[in-house]
Amino acid sequence: MIYNLWTYLSFIFQRANWLSLLDILLVAAVVFAVLYLLRDTKALVLLRGVLFLIVVISLLSSLRVLPAFSWLITNTLPTLLLAIPVIFAPEIRRVLERIGRTGSVFAQDQYTSEMEKIIQQVVRATRRIAEKKYGGLIVFSRLDSLHAYIETGVKLNAAVTPETLIQIFYPKTPLHDGAVIIADDVIAAAGCVMPLSASGVLEESPDRSMGLRHRAALGIAEESDGIAVVISEETGIVSLAHDSKLDKYVPLDELQARLTGLFQIEYTPRSLVSRFITLFQGISE
């Protein structure tokens, strides 16, 4: 058997050329893209399970001593493949949304002196909200429009000041439980309803301080390129949601630098290559 396998591999390598190498690289790129787009989702776990079942079933169906099982698999496998889009419907939609947002990937995220002042005001407000353990969720709008979520809240169009943000998140006030959305350099709305994350990332966390606000922060980071600052009402701990991930326990001394760094990202071909390499390294770890 080993001899036959070696003969088969030798036959393949003898026929290989630069087109074959290009073909393999393209397939690898597609697989990498699919795995990257499905990161931090339940679909990745399901995909691993499906691939494992396919390998096991393929090996069993290839055995000639199991003709009935081979017939069953041969006739039911096409049906199972048709069922995959139904099972993965929410994840497929999320992947398509991410692909759709790549159309603006070469646009430059605007970072102005006004935005720098807004970040300073938000950090000051966050510090005071965290000290008093009021709890809060502040979302920065970037390239993706958050108009649909602004419509779910109370429109304010108010200047971004620590006093306004603290008053909004003061306990038992009407707007306390919703999110504040900052767009076009103003507080566009407060009391907004955010989409809850369905990725299961927070379900795996044993930390009880990760509640509904954290699910909402991660949810908006999954649905858009928005940046969410979330303050725990139980502990006062600050977390940062962006790029479909949640950075827990962000020190207040680092919050301004972290926000500034996210807004100063310039999407150019060179930076995209760097980000691709960084992402590949992160997935391979």
Same domain, 173 and 201: yes
- Is position 284 within any domain? no
- 138 belongs to a structural domain: yes
Provide the sign of the torsion angle of the four alpha carbons 24, 28, 34, 35, taken in this order. Answer: positive
Of 87, 104, 121, which closes a domain?
104
The pLDDT of 17-36, averaged and rounded, is 79
Query: Do 221 and 185 reside in the same domain of the chain?
Result: yes
Would 279 be classed as within a structural domain? no
24 with 161, same domain?
Answer: no
Which stretch of 17-26, 58-67, 98-107 has the lowest confidence by average pLDDT?
98-107
97 with 120, same domain? no
Domain annotation covers residue 58: yes
Please check whether residues 131 and 24 belong to one and the same domain: no
Radius of gyration, CA atoms only, the chain: 24
What percent of the chain lies above the pLDDT cut of 90? 39
142 — pLDDT class (breaks 50, 70, 90)? confident
210 plus 91 within the same structural domain? no
Q: Are residues 129 and 94 in the same domain?
A: no
pLDDT value of position 89: 67
- Identify whether 277 is part of a domain: no
Do 99 and 120 share a domain, yes or no?
Answer: no
Asked if 243 contacts 257 with a C-beta cutoff of 8 angstroms, the reply is: no
- Kindly state whether residues 119 and 251 are assigned to the same domain: yes
- Domain match, 98 and 146 both: no
- Could you tell me the CA-to-CA distances from 212 to 97, 111, 234 in Å, in that order? 23, 30, 12
**Predicted local distance difference test score (pLDDT) of residue 281:** 46
Q: Do residues 100 and 117 share a domain? A: no
Q: 């992402």: which residue's tokens?
A: 279
The residue among 80, 104, 128 that closes a domain is: 104
Would you call 183 helix, strand, or coil by DSSP?
Answer: strand
Q: Does residue 138 sit in the same domain as residue 225?
A: yes
Q: What distance in Å separates the CA atoms of residue 117 and residue 115, rounded to the nearest whole number?
A: 5
Query: pLDDT tier at 27 (50, 70, 90 boundaries)?
Result: confident
* Selection from 164, 174, 192, 178 nearest residue 135 by Cα: 178
Question: How confident is the model at residue 106, as a pLDDT?
Answer: 42
| Cβ–Cβ under 8 Å, residues 185 and 256 | no
- CATH number of 218's domain: 3.40.1700.10
Share of the chain above pLDDT 70, in %: 61
Number of domain units in the chain: 2
Parent domain of 41: 2-104
- 217: in domain: yes
What pTM was computed for the model? 0.62
- Find the mean pLDDT for residues 199-218: 73
Using CA of residue 22, residue 23, residue 24, residue 27, what is the dihedral sign?
positive
**Final residue of a structural domain among 77, 104, 131:** 104
Q: What is the mean pLDDT of the chain?
A: 77
**Could you tell me the CA-to-CA distances from 112 to 106, 116, 266 in Å, in that order?**
18, 6, 13
Residue 192 lies in a domain: yes
